[in-house]
A and B are shown apart, each in its own frame.
Chain A
């Protein structure tokens, strides 16, 4: 997974819903509703947001999997 650009490292502090909201905000600012007309900075930020959302989703899945293992019955529970 590509690393998040240092220029946009501040985005890593945002929660998932905040990142999604920021993505919508950028999309809504697109001239004539065409995202490809956004300026270079906005295009770059949009890409970083999508990368971060994937990263956070992957971390969320790993945590859920670890939690499931942690909470699994031990042999002592069963016996």
Chain B
């Protein structure tokens, strides 16, 4: 049975990035909800890692526990989150190695000695900032068609008649040298010499800043911490990026243009194919099997439907991971 196509009303940076890479991939992954049967170890390990960092931070800064006690509590939660996940490829991101990365992270940065301390709201560290911001003004396409320039500053509405929402979540707010900043960790299996440069134009972080500012938080800086999990060692790196107002405004306008394009694809019933680099990036598109077949429906049993929800800790889970 073919999956039912639904145009998501909550759009996040992952979805937007996917669309600009290949519209057809966006359709298959986020409108049909298709995913390869084997779950991604990268998403799973990254989620478990992020939850553990949060648990340690809450236990020390919130509940006042010692570092060791905080690690014990976080470790139990980590095992709970990891569950019975089966790893289907050779990867350094095993349960034990990924937990080791958590301990290495705090060996490197410290908890109370970290140069970025948690931003407190009413005495509690501010972890897990989730947002869903309506993109307004929102208008239905009319005789002007789908050219964003024809609608001044308006976004397209979702086919339901509601506005689209720009949604997502970032790990936490921190205090760095008297500034409130956004923090995000990224687990990876390799950190090259130019790791920090890839974040200079990153829409994900521009979106976080826009969302934070929309909620009245004076923020223009993101601290990105890279955690390299290799088979025999860990690597900890940090990049601190400040974005100017004009960069955030450009991102916002680009989002508006992209949404008009997505709405056009949806209404016309056709999402364009990249037929170029997107097919081969990140180890190859998971939908190559469908795109290389004249009858893609016969291959649908190689996929499951697991819809992406940017408001969940684990965006492809049916339910959110257990909270601390």
Contacts and interface: CB of A to CB of B under 8 A. Distances in A.
A34 interface: yes
A35 B79 contact: yes
Contacts of A34: 80, 322
B73 A36 contact: yes
Contacts of A35: 76-77, 79-80
Interface string B93-124: 00111011001000100000000000000000
A47 B72 contact: yes
Interface residues of B, number: 19
Q: Could you tell me the dominant secondary structure of chain B's interface residues?
A: helix
B75 interface: yes
A14 interface: no
Nearest to B71: A47
A54 B97 contact: yes
Contacts of A40: 72
Interface in B67-88: 71-73, 75-77, 79-80
Which bucket holds chain A's interface residue count?
Answer: 10 to 19
A10 interface: no
B232 interface: yes
Contact of B79 (A46, A57, A58, A61): A46
Of the listed residues A47, A51, A58, the one surrounded by the most CB atoms of chain B closer than 10 A to its CB is A47
Nearest to A61: B232
Contacts of B97: 54
B200 to A, nearest CB: 35
Interface in A14-72: 27, 34-36, 38, 40, 43-44, 46-47, 50-51, 53-54, 57-58, 61
A10 B100 CA distance: 21
B179 interface: no
Interface of A: 1-2, 27, 34-36, 38, 40, 43-44, 46-47, 50-51, 53-54, 57-58, 61
26 contacts: A1-B100, A1-B103, A35-B76, A35-B79, A36-B73, A36-B76, A36-B77, A36-B322, A38-B76, A43-B72, A43-B73, A43-B75, A43-B76, A44-B72, A46-B79, A47-B72, A47-B75, A50-B75, A50-B99, A51-B103, A53-B96, A54-B99, A57-B96, A58-B232, A61-B231, A61-B232
Given A36-B80, A47-B72, A50-B96, 10 more contacts: A35-B77, A35-B79, A36-B322, A40-B72, A46-B76, A47-B75, A53-B96, A54-B97, A54-B99, A61-B231
